[in-house]
Structure 1
Amino acid sequence: MACTDCLRPTLQRMLLKFHVCIPIAAGSLLVGVPYSISLLAQWLYGWPNKPGFRKYTEALKPRRIYCLTVAVLEMVKYLQYGKLYIQWKSWYRNSANSKYCVKDIHFGRHGNKLDLYYCPHVDGPGSALSPAVIFVYGGAWGSGERSTYCLLAMQMAKELNKPVICPDYSIYPKGNVMEMVQDIADCILWSRETGHTFNIDKRNIVLIGHSAGAHLCALTALFLAAESEEMGIELSKQRDILTSVKGVVGLSGVYHIMNHYQYETWRGVEYVSTMHKAMGGIENFEHYSPTLFVKTLTEDKLAKLPPFTLIHGTKDTIVPVESTLQFSEALTAAAVKASLFILPHVGHTELVTDLMGSNRRYYHTILGCIKQGINKVTAHG
């Protein structure tokens, strides 16, 4: 009995400690962790665009905190590409692969570089001229580099039997969206003026872009058709550049900037996103939206546009599939040729990562759609 009386205070202290620890642990999990994650994200990538202390009160709103935390935690899924990351790093650094790739070619007015990938079945310089593909990567207009897409470019060169050009462009804050469009036009111009050295048919080029890259490809074609002074290229040369573009392929593209900004706001990421900064503010959203811009073109300018092939996955949570559906409708209403492919179960990232190896789940499905689009418009299918 004495022993029991001795243990009773110890048990009471343990129970009290247990009851105190549970709320503390729950508070840390439900409050401390989300606030730490979201505040760190906002500190690194940008506070709400509000004056004075309002940016901090906006940043501390519970809905923003938890939405932003969910968005950050969703990025954990990219860990599944760790093996792929090692593979493309290894491939790009391997000097033995130089027979299939010419790296670090300077082009354009903004000091960027591009890599050019030969089809493994082609013997290199001296072969017959071939249609070429320019692949423009995504990254929310503020990240990305050409080396990441070496496996994709190599696979596409092999499967399409065409050289693939992968350029860097002036991502924010180096440049704004207009300078990025100029970079894509400069890459096409490089292909026209220098491409014959690499067996490229300057009259036969296809643009392929993913996400922000799809937006830039579409906007480049539209601005060239409009003969926009913003391009900083004389009009006759703009016409020549556009005649070279035989098709545009968009993978999971952002085509209506205001709609996407509203979607980013719903997700709580509109201020940490690079999009509104790269666009130069909300006042430019309409001008830089292909879905809206195509409606401003006259009939004679619309006739100059190349055919579009639009591909999107139904499981895309980064850029909703409605983005592509609306752009497809706008193109069709403007009598611009457009092919639409909606892929069930495919997410945003898979549309590029699954093109990096023939053993990946959606490789043949995605590649088949791209082939259909390209073979319709290039002279040598």
Structure 2
Amino acid sequence: MTVQCIYGWPNKPGYKKYIEALKPRRIYCMTKAVLERLKYLQYGRLYFQLKSWYETDENKKHYEKGITFGRRGQKLDLYFPPNVSRLNDGPPPLVVFIYWRRMSEELSAAVVCPDYCTYPQGNVLGMVQDIADCLVWARESGAKFNFDKDKIVLIGHSAGAHLCALTALFLADEREELLMEAGVQREVAESVRGVIGLSGVYNILEHYEHERKRAVEYVSTMHKAMNGVENFPYYSPTHVLKEVGQEKLSRLPPFALLHGSSDFVVPVQSSCKFSALLSGLDVNVSLYLLPGLNHMDIVTDLMSADRRYYHPIYSCIKLEWRKLNLLHP
């Protein structure tokens, strides 16, 4: 009941919403979902490690926080690779990560973590616009902050992976909804050298059906951020991909999709099906299925080198980095 009060009641008329919320199966599934969330407490140590990293004076030279970008005055944090002074091959590439900063060190890359409007302040289109604005900022700011504006990689986890894929597709298709000139969109699209999705959602309708089976569809903000079920195709990378013409498909960067086999929040089939669709349309794609990883492991274990899956995950990412000729010796 508490969860329903916080996140919203079933969209049924009148008293029927309470009857729906009190169905035994829904209560069971909701309780199970809440108990699964309690497992996240094990990541508390990582939070304090992150907090202490920011409080160390030596680390302050490696990041700059609160940089303003975009039409809505969003903020981003920029992280510099600690070995940047030793790089002899020009400025490092840039990762736009939705979210995390550890990659700066592992990949010898600058890393940007941008804010974007979230529901209820905005919908999915607003989120994509904010990420596109961040890419425009990167194009304009590479020289100032010493990163390569022509070597940008989008990386995201879960909904972040969905937004990265959707942004790349909208840019390749030169969507008017981005409110950018076509020439600017082409320049930005050409700067994006790759998209790496971690446990991403790529078919919104299928994921909504999965949420319904878990009886969490009413407390999830996904369909609300889409402005209703009728917009699911428009915001589904799988659907958008089928509508993009062959000439524009050639503008898409390579994709790498990573997914844990024990992910019950976003089933592994999400990445498998998207990979098959990309491959069928001759878009460069690599699929990595990681045994034993759940939905959170694939992102939280990137935070610290002593985590169980840290090296397996980074091995996949670094392999893609080498394919893109972005990894410095």
Do the aligned residues in 2 keep the contact of 1:210 with 1:252 (CA within 8 Å)? yes
Equivalent residue letter for 1:241: V
Equivalent residue letter for 1:101: Y
Do the aligned residues in 1 keep the contact of 2:108 with 2:327 (CA within 8 Å)? no
Partner of 2:169: 222
Partner of 2:142: 195
Partner of 1:186: 133
Separation of aligned partners in 2, 1:365 and 1:127: 27
C-alpha deviation, 1:375, in angstroms: 2.1
Q: 1:78 aligns with which of 24, 40, 44?
A: 40
Partner of 2:66: 104
Query: CA separation of 1:313/1:193 partners in 2, compared to 1, >3 Å: closer, same or farther?
Result: same
Separation of aligned partners in 2, 1:135 and 1:60: 39
Q: Is 1:89 matched with 2:51?
A: yes
Partner of 2:237: 290
Q: How does 1:246-285 map to 2 (within 5 A)?
A: 246-285=193-232
Partner of 1:233: 180
Equivalent residue letter for 2:216: V
C-alpha deviation, 1:126, in angstroms: 12
Partner of 2:282: 335
* TM-score with structure 2 setting the length: 0.96
Query: CA separation of 1:110/1:125 partners in 2, compared to 1, >3 Å: closer, same or farther?
Result: farther
Separation of aligned partners in 2, 1:372 and 1:125: 20
Partner of 1:27: none
Separation of aligned partners in 1, 2:146 and 2:48: 31
Q: 1:69 aligns with which of 5, 9, 31?
A: 31
Equivalent residue letter for 2:20: E
Q: How does 1:290-329 map to 2 (within 5 A)?
A: 290-329=237-276
Do the aligned residues in 2 keep the contact of 1:204 with 1:378 (CA within 8 Å)? no
C-alpha deviation, 1:93, in angstroms: 4.0
Structure in which a larger fraction of residues adopt helix: 1
C-alpha deviation, 1:157, in angstroms: 1.1
Query: CA separation of 1:379/1:369 partners in 2, compared to 1, >3 Å: closer, same or farther?
Result: closer
Separation of aligned partners in 2, 1:259 and 1:240: 33
C-alpha deviation, 1:262, in angstroms: 0.5
Secondary structure at 1:49's aligned position in 2? coil
C-alpha deviation, 1:273, in angstroms: 0.4
Q: 1:171 aligns with which of 111, 118, 121?
A: 118
Separation of aligned partners in 1, 2:267 and 2:103: 25
5+ residue gaps, structure 1: 1-38, 138-148
CA RMSD of aligned residues (A): 1.6
Q: Is 1:116 matched with 2:78?
A: yes
Tell which deviates more after alignment, 86-95 or 190-199: 86-95
Separation of aligned partners in 2, 1:102 and 1:128: 21
Q: Is 1:361 matched with 2:292?
A: no
Equivalent residue letter for 1:132: L
- Structure with max Cα Rg: 1
